[in-house]
Structure 1
Amino acid sequence: MATPLLAQPEKDISPKERCPVCGMFVTKFPDWITQVRLTSGTVKYFDGVKDLLAFTLNPASFGMPGQTVRDIWVKDYYTLAWIDGRAAWYVVGSDVYGPMGHEFIAFGSVAAAENFRTDHKGTKVLRFDEITEPLVQSMRQGQKMR
């Protein structure tokens, strides 16, 4: 029996792709692009982790009722390598802003996340399953395009 291939993030992203949460063209900020693949196979792109999390926690709010997120990819802040969003470590409350203001900053290791938190005045380091909808919404309050 053949082993199924691990899902991989899309690397060729059209400049016409817009974030389904805020409407921003995602390729204008390539270092911040994140993406999900739904169980239907559809891929959605975002201009940062914060909007990806808002979508992932409630796809129906963004025009995708009945859809489930299958795969999540974010970029490690330091290496810009694609990493599994469910396995990443996220720094909250730092002095580093994304395209839409306050942002969850992703890392592939807890050591990198802790170093960043210390260097950039972050308030905490969280795993994916520790991030709640109220936290995401509080970070989205007053967001502005930069």
Structure 2
Amino acid sequence: MKRLLKKIFVMVCLVGLFSTAALSAGPKMPGPKDRCPVCGMFVAPYPDWIATIVLKDGQQIFFDGCKDLFRYYLELPEGEGEGTKGEITAIYVTEYYRAQFMLVDEVFFVAGSDVYGPMGKELIPVAGKELAETFMRDHSGSQILTFEQITLDLLPPN
């Protein structure tokens, strides 16, 4: 009996370890056929601009930039169930300087800059308030926003 309990304990620990590793791995990159649901562009050719929504079932929705991610996200209804904000487990954007995925609540978004994305004017995600202020000054940005402050009327036109 003691031996059986020991085996069960080891198995539970291993499952927990692998689950934690899978969660910390972050989102995966898009494949060559993944398209932005807002504009229809293929996303993979623009790795410096990719944004993604991760759903409860593990699926990801990819975007060719923050602007289209917000257009999609802000139109989703609140609540639980398919096609709602309640199905989302995480939202990632590609941080401008690091060129790697970061959670949306870990970055600031600079609007109105002279830096263009695949679809023209773009919201630029930058890690840290000080770096966002530097970016805004260096690239003629107009304002710095958090994820919660962004509304449809603040998005640059396509």
For 1:27, the equivalent position in structure 2 comes to 44
Q: Percent identity?
A: 39
Unaligned runs of at least 5 residues, structure 2: 1-12
Answer 1 or 2: which has greater helix percent: 2
Name the counterpart of 1:10: 28
User: 1:42 aligned to 59, 62, 74, which one?
Assistant: 59
> What SS does structure 2 have at the residue aligned with 1:86?
helix
SS state at 2:91 partner: strand
Q: Which has the larger radius of gyration?
A: 2
Distance in 2 separating the partners of 1:59 and 1:15: 26
Q: 1:38-87: CA deviations, max 9, x gaps?
A: 23432100000001111111236xxx633532201111101102111122
Please show how residues 45-64 of structure 1 align to structure 2 within 5 Å: 45-59=62-76
Deviations 1:21-46 (A, max 9, x none): 11000011111111111234321000
RMSD: 2.0
Secondary structure, counterpart of 1:53 in structure 2: helix
| Structure-2-length-normalised TM-score | 0.77
> Which of 121, 127, 132 is equivalent to 2:146?
127
CA contact under 8 A between 2:73 and 2:85: conserved in structure 1? no
Distance 1:113 1:43 in 2: 27
Gaps of 5+ in 1: none
Q: 1:117 and 1:51, CA in 2 relative to 1: closer, same or farther beyond 3 A?
A: same
Partner of 2:10: none
Code of the residue aligned with 1:65 in structure 2: it is G
Aligned length: 135
